[in-house]
């Protein structure tokens, strides 16, 4: 997969954008097609029910992010053409002893996203103490185990913060502790009360993050990806979820629940 220039896709969808360049225009005699972004797949959640050929509900488990994942219908629902992912106080601990419940969807085992670009338009809302909404990628083949298999966090937000984190994880960043050469995580200010488009582009030699069509973070391959530094050029599954509690986000304030994240749409592009 080759690129002429790494331009965030949202800017390419706007005619005469500031990113356009007259030198990139074809001359009248040049009939060779130039590579461009092509929309390969999308979901706008407007059908009134979840597409089960692509999505299933996230399942509970021992990691912090999975501790309160639930299939309770109140935690993952379609409303007004949006996918709504929520965290709530559990009002029936006889059925489920956990004090809190939250929900999400993933394409694990169902739909793979190869090198290209994934865009998600989402609104995070007011937030809550202990809330941790996330949009992220894990390898479709996880057989090598984490962190060697890699992880790409397109967007994470903590509590009430007015910023989001965009991060890559690998053996190089986690086991070897190399998080500054190159920088593996950056934050960007956002207005959580409005919709934003969160984007990641996966290229052979770099991972590019964007918000609302503006590049926010680039993680390049270094030394040919030695020491497991760049396990990113492959297929992934997408996870979108509301998470509650854990060592990073901190304690949960039940009086601030319910909390929710709204997903407007998901789009996947390839460059050819």
Q: Provide the whole-model pTM.
A: 0.92
What pLDDT is attached to residue 24?
43
What pLDDT is attached to residue 125?
97
Spatial neighbors of 119 by CB under 8 A, at least 6 apart, are: 9, 10, 197, 198, 199, 266, 267, 268, 269
Compute the distance between CA of residue 220 and CA of residue 241 in angstroms, rounded to an integer.
27
Tokens of 215: 């590049």
What pLDDT is attached to residue 3?
57
What pLDDT is attached to residue 1?
55
What pLDDT is attached to residue 28?
59
Tokens of 271: 């460059």
Integer-rounded Cα radius of gyration of the chain: 19
Answer whether 57's CB lies under 8 Å from 86's CB.
no
What pLDDT is attached to residue 9?
75
CA distance readout (Å), 156 to 121, 125, 188, 196, 230: 14, 13, 11, 13, 21
The domain ranges of the chain are 57-271
SS3 assignment for 173-192: HHCCCCCECCECEEEEECCC
Answer whether 177's CB lies under 8 Å from 104's CB.
no
Span 57-271 CATH architecture: Sandwich (2.60)
Of 172, 140, 164, 170, give the one whose Cα is nearest residue 152: 170
Spatial neighbors of 69 by CB under 8 A, at least 6 apart, are: 57, 58, 59, 60, 61, 102, 103, 104, 241, 243
Q: List per-residue pLDDT tens for the chain, 272 residues long.
A: 555 445 787 766 643 333 333 444 445 567 778 899 999 999 999 999 999 999 999 999 999 999 999 999 999 999 999 999 999 999 999 999 999 999 999 999 999 999 999 999 999 999 999 999 999 999 999 999 999 999 999 999 999 999 999 999 999 999 999 999 999 999 999 999 999 999 999 999 999 999 999 999 999 999 999 999 999 999 999 999 999 999 999 999 999 999 999 999 999 999 99
């Amino acid at each position: 997969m080759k690129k002429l220039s790494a331009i965030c896709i949202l800017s390419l969808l706007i005619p005469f954008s500031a990113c356009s360049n007259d030198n990139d225009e074809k001359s009248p005699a040049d009939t060779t097609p130039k590579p461009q972004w092509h929309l390969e797949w999308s979901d706008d959640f407007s059908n009134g029910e979840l597409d089960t050929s692509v999505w299933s509900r996230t399942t509970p488990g021992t990691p912090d992010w999975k501790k309160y994942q639930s299939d309770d219908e109140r935690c993952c629902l379609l409303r007004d053409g949006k996918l709504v992912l929520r965290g709530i106080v559990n009002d029936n601990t006889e059925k489920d002893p956990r004090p809190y419940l939250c929900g999400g969807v993933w394409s694990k085992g169902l739909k793979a996203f190869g090198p290209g670009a994934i865009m998600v338009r989402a609104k995070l809302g007011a937030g809550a103490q202990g809330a941790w909404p996330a949009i992220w990628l894990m390898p479709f083949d996880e057989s090598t185990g984490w962190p060697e298999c890699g992880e790409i966090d397109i967007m994470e937000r903590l509590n009430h913060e007015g910023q989001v984190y965009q991060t890559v994880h690998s053996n190089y960043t986690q086991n070897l502790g190399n998080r500054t050469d190159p920088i593996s995580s950056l934050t960007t200010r956002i207005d959580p009360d409005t919709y934003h488009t969160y984007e990641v582009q996966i290229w052979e030699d770099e991972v590019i993050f964007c918000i609302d069509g503006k590049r926010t973070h680039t993680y390049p391959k270094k030394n040919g990806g030695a020491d497991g530094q760049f396990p990113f050029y492959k297929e992934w599954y997408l996870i979108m979820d509301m998470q509650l509690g854990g060592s990073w986000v901190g304690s949960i304030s039940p009086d601030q629940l319910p909390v929710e994240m709204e997903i407007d749409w998901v789009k996947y592009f390839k460059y050819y």
